């Protein structure tokens, strides 16, 4: 098994070196051919996905998990759209930035170049295969994907279609590879392949993230938990607050940018909470309340200390009444995962305080946290959403898959 993975690593590294030489036009053509291949193989994709869904139902996977696993025609349309959107984006590879002329005549600047070979470890969403391939091909990075066993049929199918498209376009098909073996041992091996991989990106649950961080000898860009908050300020438009809060929790609860905790200023709690509670409960949301919220919503469950730091990924919501914006910010920075958090307010000062003091990758004023997404932010797609501070925070798009090396133009200068 180890030698097979190492050979895969060698092939991807060689392919990545070839990708750097390929023009933006040819890379875009490859993405369009892959989009066409996905369209032509739509029924095959759904057939393979059905195998994963049946296995998931037999295992008793949660509805939220099954939702992330499912590939409908609409989601296949979305994958094709991502490939087309990425084609329209400016190619970052070779971009020269910050060129300056020194007193000695040297011209010093930087050039964006691919990171190299990326290993991405993910769990349940097969459309990740297409997002990742679109971004890595365009940014001239090689990639090795290792998905979870629950989506293995879908993943293998999609990667085979992508490789077929690369071959038809005249690009190295080994630029995108998948590890078909879902044994945990393959992850351990991948994390030690520092001669072939330049960065590891884990996307999944807390156990996966921690395992990768503790075992990798390769730099890790962490796609961590999504414990997202919405704070309804004392100066909020309450109708807007109801709409935003409902959307953040209910529109798609099984994803990392959905709201898990609702914070409400005490001065408007009596007017706001009964309104939002009716909508949430009608949608099947289980509310877990702090002691103050319980007075206003007596038919809800009691929230425990553990609830404030739990990513439910389900129709469950923790609710807490706070005395001030400072208490709300302190709660977010204490219990949150530095992913996405929102304030609903008509008060400019409070809004700017929230943006300045909340330590998260994405901070919103008067909008749903559900917008934290590479495609929604105009990035075409995303490799993941980084919760850490180096080398990127938030959705990782094309530019975030490059680093800048120094380039120097001289005319015979020597150092005295």
**Is the domain of 254 the same as that of 192?**
no
In terms of domains, do 218 and 236 share one? no
In a domain, 243, yes or no: yes
Is the per-residue pLDDT at 205 higher than 90?
no
**Same domain assignment for residues 178 and 301:** no
Give yes or no for residue 254 having a pLDDT over 90. no
Among 224, 258, 291, the domain-final residue is 224
Average pLDDT over residues 230-244: 98
Question: What is the mean pLDDT of the segment spanning 301-312?
Answer: 97
Residue 394 pLDDT level (bands cut at 50, 70, 90): very high
Q: Does 225 score more than 90 pLDDT?
A: no
The tokens of 314 are what? 């389900």
Q: Is 250 within a domain?
A: yes
- Longest alpha-carbon distance in the chain: 80
Residue 140 lies in a domain: yes
Predicted local distance difference test score (pLDDT) of residue 295: 98
- Mean pLDDT of all residues in 46-53: 98
Q: Output the pLDDT for position 123.
A: 84
- Average of per-residue pLDDT across 322-350: 98
**Average pLDDT of the residues in 87-113:** 97
Residues 6+ apart with CB under 8 A from 257: 226, 228, 339, 340, 369, 370, 371, 372, 373, 385
Tell me: do 139 and 246 sit in the same domain.
no
The arrangement of strands across the sheet holding 286-289 comes to: 301-302, 286-289, 316-322, 259-265, 228-232, 340-344, 362-365
Residue 273, burial from CB neighbour count under 10 angstroms (0-12, 13-18, 19+): buried
In a domain, 205, yes or no: yes
340: containing domain? 228-371
How confident is residue 318, by pLDDT bands cut at 50, 70 and 90?
A: very high
Residue 65, pLDDT above cutoff 90: no
- pLDDT tens, position by position, 340-368: 999 999 999 999 999 999 999 999 999 99
Q: Which residue has better confidence, 121 or 375?
A: 121
Taking each helix axis as running N to C, give the angle between helix 42-59 and helix 73-88, from 0 to 180 degrees, rounded to the nearest 10.
120
Does the pLDDT at position 387 exceed 90? Answer: no
pLDDT of 337 strictly over 90: yes
CA distance 309 to 24: 44
What CATH number is associated with residue 318?
A: 3.40.309.10
Q: Are residues 296 and 211 in the same domain?
A: no
Domain with 178 in it: what CATH number?
A: 3.40.605.10
Of 368, 258, 384, the C-alpha closest to 311 is 258
Rounded to two decimals, the pTM is 0.86
Reported as a pLDDT band with limits 50, 70 and 90, residue 388 is confident
Q: Is residue 112 part of a domain?
A: yes
Average pLDDT over residues 21-44: 98
Residue 385 lies inside a defined structural domain of this protein: no
Structural domain count, the chain:
2
Residue 47: which residues within 8 A CB-CB, separation 6 or more?
none
Task: For the chain, give the mean pLDDT.
Answer: 96
The average pLDDT across 166-180 equals 98
Last residue of a domain, one of 208, 224, 240: 224
pLDDT for 107-157, tens place per residue? Answer: 999 999 999 999 999 987 899 999 999 999 999 999 999 999 999 999 999
Alpha helices in 310-367 (DSSP H): 325-335, 348-357
Enter the tokens of residue 291: 């002691």
226 CB neighbour count, 10 Å cutoff: 23
Lowest mean per-residue pLDDT among 233-237, 257-261, 385-389? 385-389
* Residues 161/126, Cβ–Cβ less than 8 Å: no
pLDDT at 389: 83
Co-location of 237 and 202 in the same domain: no
Answer with the one of 173, 195, 224 that is the final residue of a domain: 224
Which residues, 6+ apart, have CB-to-CB distance to 38 below 8 Å? 45, 76, 79, 80, 83, 130, 158, 161
DSSP reduced 3-state for 268: coil
Residue 124 lies in a domain: yes
DSSP letter for 180, please: -
Predicted confidence (pLDDT) at residue 377 exceeds the cutoff of 90: yes
Are residues 171 and 58 part of one domain? yes
Residues 242 and 288 in one domain: yes
Of 141 and 209, which is predicted with more confidence? Answer: 141
């Amino acid at each position: 098994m180890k030698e097979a993975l190492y050979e895969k690593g060698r092939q991807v590294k060689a392919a990545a070196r070839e990708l750097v030489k390929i023009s933006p036009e040819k890379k875009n053509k490859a993405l369009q051919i892959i989009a066409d291949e996905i369209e032509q193989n739509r029924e095959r994709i759904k057939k393979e996905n059905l195998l994963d869904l049946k296995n998931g139902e037999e295992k008793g996977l949660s509805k939220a998990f099954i939702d992330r696993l499912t590939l409908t025609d609409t989601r296949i349309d979305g994958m094709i759209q991502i490939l087309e959107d990425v084609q329209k984006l400016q190619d970052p590879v070779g971009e020269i930035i910050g060129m300056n002329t020194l007193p000695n005549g040297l011209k010093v600047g930087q050039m964006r170049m691919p990171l190299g070979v990326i290993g991405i470890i993910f769990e349940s969403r097969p459309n990740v295969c297409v997002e990742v391939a679109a971004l890595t091909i365009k940014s001239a990075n090689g990639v090795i994907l290792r998905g979870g066993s629950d989506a293995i049929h879908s993943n293998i199918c999609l990667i085979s279609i992508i490789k077929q498209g690369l071959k038809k376009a005249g690009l190295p098909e080994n630029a995108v590879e998948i590890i078909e073996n879902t044994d945990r041992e393959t992850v351990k091996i991948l994390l030690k392949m520092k001669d072939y991989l330049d960065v590891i990106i884990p996307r999944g649950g807390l156990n996966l993230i921690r395992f990768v961080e503790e075992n990798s000898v390769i730099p890790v860009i962490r796609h961590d938990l999504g414990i997202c908050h919405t704070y309804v300020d004392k100066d909020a438009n309450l109708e807007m607050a109801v709409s935003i809060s409902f959307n953040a929790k209910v529109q798609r609860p099984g994803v990392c940018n959905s709201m898990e905790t609702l914070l409400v200023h005490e001065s408007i709690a009596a007017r706001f909470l009964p309104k939002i509670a009716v909508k949430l409960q009608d949608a099947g949301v289980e509310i877990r309340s702090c002691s103050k919220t319980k007075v206003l919503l007596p038919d809800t469950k009691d929230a425990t200390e553990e609830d404030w730091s739990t990513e439910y990924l389900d129709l469950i919501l923790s609710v807490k009444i706070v005395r001030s914006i400072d208490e709300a910010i302190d709660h977010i920075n204490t219990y949150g995962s530095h992913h996405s958090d929102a304030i609903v307010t008509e008060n400019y000062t409070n809004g700017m305080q929230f943006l300045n003091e909340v330590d998260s990758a994405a901070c919103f004023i008067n909008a749903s946290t559900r917008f934290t997404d590479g495609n929604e932010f105009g990035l075409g797609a995303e490799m993941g959403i980084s919760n850490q501070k180096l080398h990127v925070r938030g959705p990782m798009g094309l530019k975030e898959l490059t680093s800048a090396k120094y380039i120097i133009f001289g005319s015979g200068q020597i150092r005295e």
